[in-house]
Amino acid sequence: MSVGLFKDRLAVHIRRLAKLSLPLCVLGLLNACAVQPPDSRPLQLVSGSAPIYPSELKSRGTEGEVTVQYDVTAQGEVINVRVIASDPPGLFDDAALIAVRTWVFRPQIRAGRVEPVIDITSKLAFQTP
């Protein structure tokens, strides 16, 4: 068999393999993105207030952000809210804490059991329009 014929046949086989492997790759990707089992569900925010921008800071154009950490009980209530960082320090902390304390979650479920979630971190930004 000549080298040219060999290359042509090899190219045909590679194209056939590519046509077969593409659907398998797509199927594999879809499987990897599969929905969680019905007995599991991630934590989901269902209600709560956005932070209220302090009016004096807003009128001065002061912007900032507050990073908070908190726990969510098995009943979906937020507890143990604390500021772990803020910039500028202290200016927006109270507004962030008040807002996070209003949040209510649909509890996390793993292996059919409702679980609390500990040490969740969220960043709240205060920006003028």
State the DSSP string of 16-79. Answer: HHHHHHHHHHHHHHHHHTPPPPTT-B--EEEE-PPPPPPHHHHHTT--EEEEEEEEE-TTSBEE
Task: With respect to residue 39, please indicate whether it lies within any of the assigned structural domains.
Answer: no
**In a shared domain, residues 15 and 78:** no
Pair (24, 48) in one structural domain: no
Q: What is the pLDDT of residue 38?
A: 67
Q: What pLDDT does 62 receive?
A: 96
Residues 66 and 22 in one domain: no
Across residues 27-42, what is the average pLDDT?
61
- The pLDDT value recorded for residue 126 is 95
Is a pLDDT exceeding 50 seen at residue 18? no
CATH number at residue 115: 3.30.2420.10
Residues 50 and 15 in one domain: no
26 in the same domain as 84: no
Residue type for position 31: N
Give yes or no: residues 16 and 78 share one domain.
no
Q: Does 49 share its domain with 75? A: yes
Per the structure block, which two tokens stand in for 47? Answer: 């209600």
Q: Which domain holds residue 7?
A: 1-34
Q: Would you say residue 63 has pLDDT above 50?
A: yes
Indicate whether 101 and 58 sit together in one domain. yes
| C-alpha to C-alpha distance for 30 and 127, rounded to whole angstroms | 39
State the pLDDT at residue 128. 85
Per-residue CA distances from 46 to 9, 102, 124 (Å): 60, 11, 17
